[in-house]
Amino acid sequence: MKIAVCLKRVPDTTAKIVVGGDGKSIDENGVKFVPNPYDEYALEAAIALKEKAGAGETVVVALGTDAAQETIRTALAMGIDRGVLLQSPGSADGFEVAKAIAGELKGQGYDLILFGKMAVDDYNHQVGVMVAELLELPCVSAVSALTVEGGALTAEREIEGGVEQLACQLPAVVTADKGINTPRLPSLKGIMAAKKKPLETKPVSLGAGSITVTSLALPPERQAGKIVGEGPDAVPALVQLLRTEAKVI
């Protein structure tokens, strides 16, 4: 089985974000970047599927600047076999990114193409499903459980108030949600071995796209809390404030 995992380099979820001077992008100075956490679920799924099958190939594909090579090597350290970097500064328009990735994946004989369900830096939920459409493949999004057997997959999705089970033939595209697995830590030997694994770089140029980011702002700072009292005596005052001040009841 040949599996592709598409990976994005994003700021660490614990990093302190500062908006850049242009008001439209983040200031990358001193910010630590990591693999998109949802993509880590996809990486783990690919590695586990190959381990279970005992054969096959796993390939990680990332679109980004040269700095994304480090992110790709994290995936190689976890156990992915080889990497491809599509060199590009990226685009705010997911469709442009999807076209470039689909161009790389097309005709390569992938049985399964995995994505995280979204990237935590832009919350777009777009690229995975768009790539499926461009490749004319079935797509199951936000998958929280996945099994592959006999050229078909079964997947579970958590929907409002329940679980939906789906099946489809391979090849297919799956975007991974939280809960699908627990991504492994790379072993120290894996980190050293990653240096020796193939990492191909290919420049790509994206179209202008039809969407632009006009501004980026941090959420307002949270106000300090207020303690209105203790025990049952405080309840009337609390209810009063929730009604008049917070306006939530």
Residue type at 22 in one-letter notation: D
Least distance from another protein to the Cβ atom of residue 82, Å: 18
- Site track 106-145 with another protein (rule: CB under 8 A), x = hit: --------------x-------------------------
| Separation between Cα atoms, residue 180 and residue 83, nearest integer Å | 23
Least distance from another protein to the Cβ atom of residue 74, Å: 7
Stretch that binds another protein, among 31-39, 121-129, 165-173, 207-215 (CB under 8 A): 31-39
| Separation between Cα atoms, residue 205 and residue 202, nearest integer Å | 10
Hey, what are 8's tokens? 């994005």
Where on the phi/psi map is residue 54: left (φ > 0), alpha (ψ -120 to 50), or beta? left
Helix (H) or strand (E) holding 116: strand 112-116
159 and 142 in contact (C-beta within 8 Å)? no
Least distance from another protein to the Cβ atom of residue 143, Å: 15
Q: What's 78's DSSP letter?
A: H
Residues 49-108 that bind another protein (CB under 8 A): 70, 73-74, 77
Binder of another protein out of 108, 169, 187, 212 (CB under 8 A): 187
Other C-beta atoms closer than 10 Å to the C-beta of 84 total 22
Least distance from another protein to the Cβ atom of residue 114, Å: 17
Residues that bind another protein (CB under 8 A): 13-14, 32, 34, 37-38, 40, 70, 73-74, 77, 120, 178, 183, 185-189, 191-192, 195
